[in-house]
Structure formats: structure tokens, C-alpha cells
Chain A
């Protein structure tokens, strides 16, 4: 009785888990075995296989548009807006169909966009006029809209005239079911969205980084805010058809979060983010076409997550690996400085700056941690200490002046506080 609507809703949720045509099967060959992936064959299919070409192209367009607009969402701390919008689109799609009886993508996209827009207004007015916080407003609107969408879907199914097969296809987020004309629709809408970003470049930049300053300069910040949010909604709605609801929220956040690690410049960030989105889209489409029973949407999410992982680790300056190296280097420097200082203070108490001291004393002073000998060796190589007798070390002349300089410097630093 209700099994079918459950399926619809579930599928709306996680895109093309069902059997999808594998590229290659359409040309009569069996899908390539997963153990060996033939690169030339994939490239051939990418160019000449209708399904794969369409899916890859559609995913690329989606990646570019959601990457570009996602950058703004992430910068404006609205990463989860994508999640809310994609769920809130459901009643819009259902109502658009109920009212017009049409299953054309453009009608459904329009319905989705309007619903997403209304959801945004709801969220804003709840946040602005009550003490309910942004995250609660977001979560509530997301789930209530989705629930309402489910109700509408079950009502549509009861209508005698309407088999909502076409609607299903739209809701399913089936990348495999993308048609060339869907990709063209996506391309046109995406191009419009990106053109708007270029036209309002300066305004959106101000809006993202310092809206208060923008307002004092006389920019219509509220209108710009609505415009940018509308563009983000457009990007999200475009993706529903390809990757489904949950996965669409990843396409908004992940490329932008990756791009953010590589640059501090908004322009470069948006270009990188679009590039990452496209890369994830194409590689996800190709991967899912070459491995049997690998659904496209989730595979795209895996690809984009891999990009996130690599960016977080290796991006220069911000990346975790770099941070780790830097910290290690700092720790090493601090340890060397500590030993130099210890030697100096010991020497002071002996009134002979070049008095030698045993390693065990130094080890004790550095808190019993290891690596004292190694540090002493490094210091000797730099000509700051010398070995007087086996196991006994003293500062050299340069070592003394180095230690004094260091202590002076530190005094200066602490006196600032």
C-alpha cells in the first residue's frame, strides 16, 4: 500500500541505488570486470557512449555550479543551507506537479526553487524574531518541509490520472537517467547563475566578508543577500536530479571546503572549488560506470571526499601535514633553546660562563625528557657548545652571546604583556 511512496522518498534521498545501466552494457558489451579497469575504453566511452557522456557532462556542470556557489555558502557559515534547501525542495516539486500536471524539468525546478526560497525566508524570520537559533531553525524547516513533501507525494499517488513516473525520475536523483536536454537545461541555468556571480562580484565579496561595512557604503545588503541565496538555491535544485538530496549537500560544502585550504583569495577559491566539483563529478561518473553496481551519486561524494582529504592534509600552509612539520620544527627549536638556556644559567651560577656541565644535570633540568645528547650534537655543529670532557659540555663564546640574545629577546616579548 505505502511501499511505493516509501521507495520514492528513499530514492529521493539517496539517488540511484537501484540497478542502473552500466556504460558499456548499452553498447552490447558486458560491463568491465571490476578488477581491471581499461582506461582507453573508459575514455572511448566518455566520448562516444551516450549515457556516460551525458552523466559525466551533467555531473561536471553540477560540480562547477555548486562548487562556485558553495564557496559563498561555506564562507558565510551557511554550509548546511544546502542540506536544508535540498530537503525543502520536495514539497515544491510535488506542488508544481499537482498544480500544473507537468513533469517537465523546468517546471519542477521552478517549484523546487520557490519552495527552497520560502524555506529560507522561514529560517531567516525565525532566527530574526525569536531566540530559536539558526541550527534549530534549519533542522526544523528541513524536516518539516520534507515531511510535508512526503504527504503531498502520497496524495499524488492516489490520483487516478497520475502515474508519477516522470516525477519519480526527477526525484530519484538518478544520474544515469539524465538526458541530454536535462544537461542543456542545467548548463543554461548554471551559466546564468555564474554570470550573476561575475556581475555582482564586488557586492557578493563584501556581503561574504563584511556585510556591515557594505551597508555603510550604501550597498543594498538585504537584496544582495536574497539574490545570492537564490543563486545557491538554483545550484542545489540543479543537482537534485543528479545526485539526490543528501549528496547534494556534500556538493555544496566539500569542493568549497577543499578550495579554502589552498588559497586566501576569493577568486582563486571559486575557480578551484568549481574545478574540484567538476573533477569529483566526472571521476564519480566514470568510476560508477566502470564498476558494476556502484551508484553514481554516492561515488561522486566519495570522490569529492577524497579531494577534501588530500586538501586537508597537503595544502601548503594550512594543511595538516605542513602544520605537523612546522610544529615539529618549532618543538626542536624550543628544545635547543632550552638546553642553551640551561647551560647559560648553570654557567652563571659558577661565575665562569665556559664552565662545563654533565649531561645528566642537563637532562634533569629539561624535565627528564630524552634527546638531550642529540640536541647537544646539533648545537655543537652550529658552534654554540663544545665537549670539554666526555659527558661534560660547555658554552662557546658564540653560544654565550646567542643565549644572552635569546634571553633579551624573551624579556622583550614578555614585557609586552
Chain B
């Protein structure tokens, strides 16, 4: 690993962590698509700011971009308030328009000036180490490391200062308003943060991949924990894993780094989606199957109890008979019987089933439960 590769990984990890933090709140507040809208609309802000300062590397561009992000959010709110369309439609109306205006402005007025749309829209991580911060002849490393570092610091300060407010506003907007927390202010603060993060990050990884890094790691950690602070930490960790593994996949395939990072974040989500201890698909399937067996065991016990000591007992307790009355197929019936025998609920002898004392108690309790429910 050479020094450039090391630096790229550092920058990628910084981008991933910086994106994951506001991303947690976007995912929880059901505003994930706002990140997509903002990351497109900031093009207009960058172009307008460029017209003012005529310098593609000016930090004013970041401010312009952040303002256009907030403009997007306000326009979406405005449309929502009219009640003419639903929220998703208002997002879908606003950002293509702002984006189109940006593209037209570039095409008409900036086409012969040095404003490389592609570079603005889709940064490239591999180039990041070549743009270095040099002060007084000293090389302090890549510039974007400092840009992302500052934005990360800004995010951390915001989250720490307003943690309680964010938490209450996210989980109970009504309570937040009642407590005088100004949910509107929190909303716009968060959206401003998303805008600034998107600008800083898309310079490195491109606007669409900003969205991947903002949403996929928080969505994955949402399946792993119920605690907000844990969710933020897990998201950051998953983000870093996506960034570093994405980098190496890109090296291996000789492909686009940011694209690989986004792909890896998706792959990690799929892993979590399948394997998460409580909410993963596999855990869900196992729980469902356990519940199915458990329920069948109860049904069997109640059935035997109902017929215990009656003239039909002999017929009803036959194994083959279960297939008819309970409509179980043979394999399932044997499975249920095997499990019940193992648990000491019933005894199987000569094709006849008999409840044990324990099974009788269990059946009685189960029947009572059923009755209550």
C-alpha cells in the first residue's frame, strides 16, 4: 500500500462517517429521499456561486450549494403546505427543476469558461491525493482530507449540542413542539447539515454515491440496534467498512472507487438484512418456524386432553388419525410428535399417544391461554 492509497482510504472513511451521521436521522425521520433531492439541487447553488466568484475552487461554492439545499427543502415544504400533492410528489417536482436550471445555466453561460460540470458533479477519489494543502512549502496532505475533516467536526458539534432535541424531535415531533424545541429549527438545521455534507462529499464521491453512504449504513444499523447512540456508532463503523472494502474491490477490479464503495455498502446491507440477530430474514424465518412448531405442539396436547378418558380416545390418539383431524401431513405430524415426546409432554407407544402429567398441565394451560386470547 503506497501513501496515495492510504490517503484515499482515509478520505473515503472520513466521507463515509460524515455522511452516516446525518443519514441516521434521515432514515429515522423518513426523509431519506431528501438527501437525493438535495444532492442534485446543490448543482444550481454551485453554478450560481461560481457566477458570483468566478473561481471553481472557492469555498463560497460550498455556501452556495448549502443554501440551494435549504432552498430545496423550503420549496418542498411550501408545496406540501398547499396540499395539492403528496410529499413524495413534491420532492419529485422540486429537485429535477432546480437541477435542470443548473444544467441549463452551465450549458448556456459557462460552457466556454473553465467550469467542468463533470468534475463538479462527480468527483473522483483517486485524484484526491493530488490536490494538496501546501503552506509555506510544507505539504500537509490532501486538501479534501481537511475539507471532510472540518465538515465531520461540524456534524459532530451539531449532533452533540442538539442530541436531546434531535432525539425528541425525531421520535415524537409533537412532544418536541410542546417542550418548546422548535422542530422546524431542528429540521432546517439537519437539512443544512445534509446539504453541507453532500457538497463536501460529492466533490469526492459524486452526488448519487453520497446518497448511498448516507442511507445504506444507517439502514443496516437500524436492523441491528434499538438505541439511537448505538445506531450512530454502528452506522459510522459500517460506513468505514464499506469505504475501505470498496476501495480494495476497486483496486482489484480496476474500477471506479466511489461506485465500489456504494456497492459494498449495499452488500453489507444485504448481509445484515439476512443475518441480523433479531431482525434479519433468517432470524425471522427461524422464529416463525419455532412458533409454528410451538403452536402445533399446543394443538396436539389440547387435542389429546379433550379426548382423554372418552370412548373415542382410542381412535383419536392414533398417530394416523392426526393427519385427518388436524390436517397435518405425515412428516409434519411426526415432527410435532417427536418434539412433544422430547419435551416430555406425551408418550408414544404402539402408534398411540398419551399425555404425560406434565403434558396434561401444559395442555390445560394452553387451552386456558387460547380461551383468554
Contacts and interface: CB of A to CB of B under 8 A. Distances in A.
Interface of A: 1-3, 5-7, 9-11, 13-14, 17, 74, 77-80, 82-83, 87, 126, 129-133, 135-155, 158, 246-247, 249-250, 252-254, 257, 260-261, 293-295, 297-299, 301-302, 305, 308, 312, 318, 320
A147 B104 contact: no
A249 B92 contact: yes
B212 interface: yes
A252 B40 CA distance: 17
B96 interface: yes
A139 B107 contact: no
Contact of B256 (A2, A7, A82, A130): A2
Contact of B121 (A2, A10, A78, A153): A10
Q: Which 7 A-B pairs have the closest CB atoms?
A: A147-B262, A144-B266, A150-B259, A250-B96, A298-B100, A143-B212, A253-B92
A246 B255 contact: no
Contacts of A2: 124, 126-127, 256
Contact of B260 (A130, A147, A252): A147
A298 B119 contact: no
Nearest to B43: A14
Interface in B81-105: 82, 84-86, 88-89, 91-93, 95-97, 99-101, 103-104
Q: Is the interface of B mostly helix, strand, loop or mixed?
A: helix
Contacts of A254: 92-93, 96
A305 B97 contact: yes
A14 B99 contact: yes
A13 B202 CA distance: 14
Contacts of B106: 17
21 contacts: A1-B126, A6-B122, A6-B124, A7-B118, A11-B118, A13-B122, A14-B103, A77-B88, A80-B91, A87-B208, A130-B273, A133-B30, A140-B212, A143-B262, A144-B212, A151-B255, A152-B255, A253-B93, A299-B104, A302-B101, A312-B82
A80 B281 contact: no
Contacts of A87: 208
B30 A74 contact: no
Q: Which of A6, A135, A318 has the most CB of B within 10 A?
A: A135
B99 A246 contact: yes
Contacts of B32: 133, 135-136, 138-140
Nearest to B281: A129
A83 B207 CA distance: 14
B227 to A, nearest CB: 14
B215 A143 contact: yes
B206 interface: yes
Contacts of B258: 147, 150
Interface residues of B, number: 70
A80 B33 CA distance: 8
B121 A144 contact: no
Contact of B211 (A10, A133, A143): A143
Interface stretch (B169-177, B216-224, B295-303): B216-224
Contacts of B279: 130-131
A138 B33 contact: yes
Contacts of A302: 97, 100-101, 104
A401 to B, nearest CB: 38
A82 B88 CA distance: 11
B89 A79 contact: yes
B84 A250 contact: no
Contacts of B33: 80, 83, 135, 138-139
Interface string B202-246: 000010111110111011001100000000000000000000000
Contacts of B222: 130-132, 136
B92 A83 contact: yes
B139 interface: no
Given A9-B122, A9-B206, A144 B216 contact: yes
A132 B266 contact: no
Given A147-B209, A246-B40, A257 B85 contact: yes
